[in-house]
Amino acid sequence: MNKKDERGIVIRNKARLVAQGHTQEERIDYEEVFALVARIEAIRLFFAYASFMGFMMYQMDVKSAFLYGTIKEEVYVCQPPGFEDPDYPKKVYKVVNALYGLHQAPRACQDKYVAKILRKFRLTKGKSASTPINTEKPLLKDPDGEDVDVHTYRSMIGSLMYLTSSRLDIMFAVCACAHFQVTPKASHLHAVKRIFRYLKGKPHLGLWYPKDSPFDLVAYSDSDYTGASLDKESTTGGCQFLGCRLIS
């Protein structure tokens, strides 16, 4: 596995030992299974309920626990093909720390991020934008437009995608620009930069979960019949609230 920079150039070669977790047997090789990640909707629902109940919440960074957490069960793995010990080719390894693939492995600030990506793409200077997308000029394929660096374009989209979990105001604009990652043009890059300029002017916006709000479920939906500029397909969307707390 190779690690690449934002231009797609290999900067580091990486190798990782992975266990074949599908061969484990419950009650023999492992006892409990935990999901590695949670859906963003589940996290928002937790925030909404915690704010309603007045719970105190804490954040804990466990980024190294997945690779280096110890396991209590006795687990043995075969030597990986091509990396056998020539002196002991028939022996197996006893696992002490969690490996990728094992069932045990998963258990074992926004404004700063905006400033970081603005510096990364050298967009700290210039005017701010009042909206994330130009509603008067829809994005098109623009086959005759000027080509731009595809790796930089994709890196910008990826940086913005990470932010959309808490900045839903840029979700539509980012997804619209993401359609052109294969052959981006100057017009598409201009639209992406507009999103960054919008974030520059409004770096502190985010989701708000007030305590003094009811807990009733309210849903909204809307649709635009054949309104898509690229394929004339209909666009639909919806959102759900618990009181005034957005959950999905």
- Digit-by-digit pLDDT tens for the chain (248 residues) are 566 766 667 777 766 555 555 555 655 555 555 555 678 888 888 889 999 998 988 776 655 444 455 566 677 778 877 778 888 888 887 776 655 545 455 444 587 889 999 999 999 988 999 999 998 888 888 899 999 999 999 999 999 998 888 888 999 899 999 999 999 999 999 999 999 999 999 988 888 888 888 999 999 998 887 767 677 777 788 889 999 898 88
Q: Which are the contacts of 83, defined by CB distance < 8 A and separation ≥ 6? A: none
Beta strands in 41-99 (DSSP E): 70-77, 93-97
Query: What does the pLDDT read at residue 106?
Result: 46
Residue 25, pLDDT score? 60
Domain ranges of the chain: 66-102, 104-207
| Contact (Cβ atoms closer than 8 angstroms) between residue 197 and residue 126 | yes
Say if strands 10-13 and 2-4 run parallel, antiparallel, or are unpaired: antiparallel
Residue 216 pLDDT: 92
Question: How far lies 124's CA from each of 6, 118, 206, 245, in Å?
Answer: 19, 5, 20, 32
pLDDT of 65:
44
Q: In the prediction, which pLDDT does 206 show? A: 83
CA distance 175 to 7: 21
pLDDT of 84 reads 82
Q: Which of 139, 137, 131 is nearest to 188 (CA)?
A: 139
Query: Residue 11: which H helix or E strand, with range?
Result: strand 10-13
